[in-house]
Amino acid sequence: MTISDDGLGGLRVLVTGGSRGLGEATVRRFAAAGAQVLTASRGTPPPDLPAVHLPADLATEEGVAELGRRVIDRVGGVDVLVNNAAAASAHAPTLQRSDASWYADLEMNLLSAVRLDRALVPGMVERGSGVVVHVSSIASRLPQRTEASYAAAKAALNTYSRELATEVGRHGVRVVCVLPGFILTEGATEHLTRMAEAQGTGLDDIKQQIVDHLNLPMGRPGDPEDVAEMIAFLASRRAKWLTGAQFRVDGGIIPAVA
């Protein structure tokens, strides 16, 4: 892979949820550019992942605080923080969704990022530079039935990101949101395979059903590398005047100009 001189070489980068899917692709993209990459997750990463793996439970306040301490102890802080870790509770009709599922989605998809920012962004402010990338979802703009708590948590993440950008921008720290669409990660493929088995059809048929349901202009799902490339660009010096904004990587699903 040929990587242009985008200023990523030598940067200290933390990618949460980096053991698979979008996170893994992001880790590999930064490592290919010469960054010093750390990743944190509950899962075990592939043995060839070019990153230092720090086991962490980001669904708890204590787990995030411990991760923040370990990162600072190991590398002194980070130049780029990619808050990618996410999880969705089981599908449920909105009016039947329990408080527990609402809390679970808010803890993992909003508060994990808020807490890790609180641990690591002050170091960026002190140094006068840094980039925070929050991986949100197009669900925050186009919520699907039975997924209200996940979509609401991601919408809150978008709003929080905008406010944080206004607070830390004068200190040289940028904050942006990336909104992936229908991306064919390992987890998505596993889920689609189960759907196909339940319907007695093939994986390609299920993928096409979703593409048709979403009216996806590109006519196909995206790849994890598509999102990783956007994240790397936003973290690079080429994006030095981009902050407080949302960037959709969705193949044109959301029918909006803004």
Higher pLDDT, 190 or 53: 53
CA–CA dist 79, 127 (Å, integer): 9
Residue position matching structure tokens 């987890």: 187
CATH superfamily of 12-183+223-248: NAD(P)-binding Rossmann-like Domain (3.40.50.720)
Q: Please state the rounded mean pLDDT for residues 93-104.
A: 96
If 0-12 CB within 10 Å is exposed, 13-18 middle and 19+ buried, where does residue 73 land?
Answer: exposed
What Rg value do the Cα atoms of the chain yield, rounded?
A: 18
* Mean per-residue pLDDT, 206-212: 86
What tens digit of pLDDT does each residue of 210-257 get?
A: 888 888 888 889 999 999 999 999 999 999 999 999 999 999 888 765
Q: How far apart are CA 62 and CA 8, in angstroms?
A: 31
Q: Which residues contact 122 (CB under 8 A, 6 or more apart)?
A: none
Catalytic residues: 150
Contact between residue 26 and residue 231 where contact means Cβ atoms under 8 Å apart: yes
Domain ranges of the chain: 12-183+223-248, 184-221
Average pLDDT over residues 161-183: 97
To which residue do tokens 């509950």 refer? 42
Supply the pTM of this predicted model: 0.93
Give me the count of residues in the chain: 258
Q: What is the DSSP string of 168-213?
A: HGGGTEEEEEEEE-SB--HHHHHHHHHHHHHHT--HHHHHHHHHHH
Q: Which helix (H) or strand (E) holds 234?
A: helix 224-235
Name residue 2's amino acid.
Answer: T
pLDDT digits 0-9 by tens, 37-71: 999 999 899 999 999 999 999 999 999 999 999 99
Instruction: For 9-34, write each residue's pLDDT tens digit.
Output: 999 999 999 999 999 999 999 999 99
Is 38:12 a contact under the CB 8 Å cutoff? yes
Model confidence at 132, in pLDDT bands (50, 70, 90)?
Answer: very high
CA atoms within 13 A on the CB side of 44: 1
pLDDT value for 3 = 45
Which carries the bigger pLDDT value, residue 208 or residue 33? Answer: 33
Give the Cα separation of 120 and 68 in Å (integer).
Answer: 6
Residue 139 has pLDDT above 50, yes or no: yes
